[in-house]
A and B are shown apart, each in its own frame.
Chain A
Amino acid sequence: MTRRMQCFMFIGIVALSLILLGCASTQKDILATRESQLKLRTIQSRAFDTNDHQRVLRVTIATLQDLGFVIDKANETLGTVSGTKRSGYTLRMTVSARPWGDNQVIVRSNAQYNLQTVEDPEPYQQFFFALSKALFLDAQQVE
């Protein structure tokens, strides 16, 4: 194999690999995540012992602002709040709160860092720690 052929083959393999990678990421797998659906829900959800669903939403807004977010959207009927933090990077977060039984509210949050979905448990633990401090309530793991 001549040196020139080796060079062409190398460029060809790299180009083919990148084309295949590009094809895979545009239309396929738009609903795919690295973690399982159940595991993600567990990582992203906590239960709080309160029946005041509106207070949870208002404190969520205050907590997001404390963490440096600007609120993008809020809807009391659906119980959702979305915000974005810009600090050289872009971190988007949506938090939803829904009543669970008579005395609990389930809070679910999901974050996106730049173009990546955040699936690491630690940032969610940090968020719920800040939220539970502001609510004066313990965040309980949802099984």
Chain B
Amino acid sequence: MHRYQSLTTLLVLPLFCLSIVACQPGIPKNALVLSPESLANRQLQTRIFETKDEKLLLSAGAAVLQDSGFQLDETEPRLGVIVASRDRDVLDAREVILSLCMALLCLPRSMAQKQKVLASLSTKPIDDKRIAARITFQHMVWNTDNQLIKNEGMNDPKIYEEFFAKLSKSIFLVAHEM
């Protein structure tokens, strides 16, 4: 009896291990459902400009992204799309000091080290006189152990207000070839 039990354990346990390896959580239920916040997010991310020149708007948007240190990864003017990204160091001096103090107490801690910000700007003519411009930002943050600690959309209204304020100025500069 004891021998059969051992053999059963030997056979069942590896299968159990394999089933755990094979089981990964699937796509979240509402990942592709419009959320109640989607309308508010759209308003936050969109401004309407009184122009019929879509290329001018895209050029001005590209210039703002370049002004902000972004690299342009993809442009498709026929669909009104610009994709850009920016890698930056986010190591904070106060965090470094805190981590050093913690290390001295034998309590090592990791901190945010680098960030990748992704942006996509899209334009869409509304009628003969107006075009809507929409910008969306996401970011990924890695810590000093090179682990991904943030992987999410950015919804701070200040970022969007700042972008559109710069875009309004940029349209003027591009239109006047400055």
Contacts and interface: CB of A to CB of B under 8 A. Distances in A.
B74 A72 contact: yes
Contacts of A89: 28, 31, 151
B105 interface: no
B138 interface: yes
A72 B81 CA distance: 9
A84 B138 CA distance: 9
Contact of B13 (A14, A54, A75): A14
B151 A65 contact: no
Interface in A98-125: 111, 113-116, 118, 120, 123-124
Residue of A9, A14, A68 contacting most chain B CB atoms (<10 Å): A68
- By secondary structure, the B interface counts as mixed
Contacts, number: 134
A47 interface: no
Nearest to A83: B120
Contacts of A115: 24
Nearest to A69: B136
A27 B31 CA distance: 30
A68 B27 contact: no
Interface in B66-106: 73-74, 76, 78-81, 83
Nearest to B10: A10
Interface in A44-86: 54, 57-58, 61-62, 65-76, 81, 83-86
Contacts of B124: 58, 62
Given A57-B79, A71-B83, A91 B118 contact: no
B33 A126 contact: yes
Interface string A1-22: 1000010011001100110010
Nearest to B3: A1
B119 interface: yes
Residue of B13, B79, B140, B153 contacting most chain A CB atoms (<10 Å): B79
Contacts of B152: 86-88
Contact of A21 (B18, B32, B136): B18
B81 A113 contact: no
Contacts of A118: 27
Given A86-B153, A126-B32, A65 B17 contact: no
B96 to A, nearest CB: 27
A68 B28 CA distance: 14
A140 B119 CA distance: 33
B17 A17 contact: yes
Interface stretch (B34-42, B57-65, B107-115, B163-171): B34-42
A88 B151 contact: yes
B148 to A, nearest CB: 9
B76 A75 contact: yes
A70 B138 contact: yes
Given A21-B18, A61-B81, A62-B122, A74 B34 contact: no
9 contacts: A17-B14, A17-B17, A61-B81, A65-B136, A66-B38, A72-B83, A81-B79, A113-B27, A116-B27
